[in-house]
Chains A and B, each alone.
Chain A
């Protein structure tokens, strides 16, 4: 049969965000694929060069609306490394808690989106139901649902609202309790198993070489978690294990993220129990940064994200460079889709957890 190129995107039900996956089809089988990105390229890194250091924090939120807390956190960590300042201990605990709440809400958003991709609308409704509680926590904390603008260079913006920590523990317990429902909807469903097991398989060696990171890499059996291996904030003091699965397919990526939600619930409880109950949450920083470079790396909900900030002694950065985990993960589309049927593509690319805001920057 004659082969033909089919454009899936820029507007297509399977892609969350504006990007195109060109696939070459032989009948139903994918023989080649070419992802096309750049529709959302805003020149983010160049825009930073025209702004003051604190003005970039709300811009960093917009890199990915699902995990805005991690992105602004990453940016301020990079700038703090450039300034060479120590953050107060209580601020580090607060940042860890907010990061983990963000991870849970991001994973639920992903769970909901992939659920509909695979034809299970109940997963979507249940996923968003849980995420709504995390959104309520963010509203309490900083008045915003998505673009939180909470971390600051040298600490965090404001003190926790009254009873916030109790609400965090209640949230963690609630999510833990509800995970049984999510498992029964997906993991125990025969249709879900048929659509994900053995689909989009990639070996550990290839995944490492091609730059996979985050839950996608851990689904290949590599326990590479920056919270463990290159700890930042207070992750070193917390007791947890990175979720790992050995399949390397869409099913494993699903299982790893479900497990990560439980781990994050546990981390929130540990933090609330052990964090200092009072103390400073922010230090003052000078307006002008020193000459030099700052480097930060955190475990984003989607993988390894890095910020590289170059200062030239003025109040504006000379260059800001961002490593987005999805920028690299999307480049694997060809390798992941080849040999599978076109109907498998939503399961394959959906479980990568693509967010175009950070991919295009």
Chain B
């Protein structure tokens, strides 16, 4: 499997947490842990490194979802990464300041993140650095605003 002899095929939740915390002490915090669910909060600079480690060493072969949240003071991306052997789902939260909406793309690792990142880009305006094709996907090409931001009001509450 890609020549990595140290790869753990079915790491337990504790093994994942321990491996991540020993390697990224201080930069990646454990948010919460439930059965088959782990939530980390990572610094923006270490996201790609963390994802590479999850994929190459801990056998997280599948990127389930990439989405964004607008917290008004800052933006946030949420990555959900799964392991096929154990069914463990890792959630990675990354805060992004409003004045520099750039984060590393994980598409070079998992091709499945491609459209999710494009979607987050066009709906929130978060730029994914290293993405092969950062273009409009769902919206028309001439949309010049980001409809999922909180500053874009839908009108009335129902």
Contacts and interface: CB of A to CB of B under 8 A. Distances in A.
A and B together in one complex: yes
Interface stretch (B20-28, B42-50, B56-64, B94-102): B56-64
A229 B84 contact: yes
Contact of A208 (B36, B37, B62, B69): B62
B147 to A, nearest CB: 6
A298 to B, nearest CB: 12
A230 B87 CA distance: 5
A323 interface: yes
Given A210-B111, A210-B112, A319-B69, A41 B139 contact: yes
Contact of A229 (B78, B87, B114, B156): B87
A222 B138 contact: no
A136 interface: no
A47 B84 contact: no
A49 B154 contact: yes
Given A306-B80, A321-B67, A331 B154 contact: no
Interface in A305-328: 306, 308, 310, 316, 318-319, 321, 323, 327-328
Interface in B68-105: 69-70, 78, 80, 82, 84, 86-87, 89, 91
B138 A38 contact: yes
Contact of B36 (A43, A55, A230, A328): A230
B78 to A, nearest CB: 7
B57 to A, nearest CB: 17
B137 interface: yes
A208 B84 CA distance: 9
B67 A308 contact: yes
A310 B69 contact: yes
Interface string A23-54: 00000000000000110010101110111000
A211 interface: yes
B147 A43 contact: yes
B64 A306 contact: yes
B65 A46 contact: no
A105 to B, nearest CB: 26
Interface string B96-123: 0000000000000011111110010000
Given A38-B140, A308-B67, 17 more contacts: A37-B138, A47-B154, A50-B158, A208-B61, A209-B110, A209-B112, A210-B111, A211-B111, A224-B84, A230-B36, A295-B80, A308-B65, A319-B69, A323-B67, A323-B80, A323-B116, A331-B112
9 contacts: A38-B138, A46-B152, A209-B61, A210-B111, A224-B62, A229-B84, A308-B65, A318-B69, A328-B115
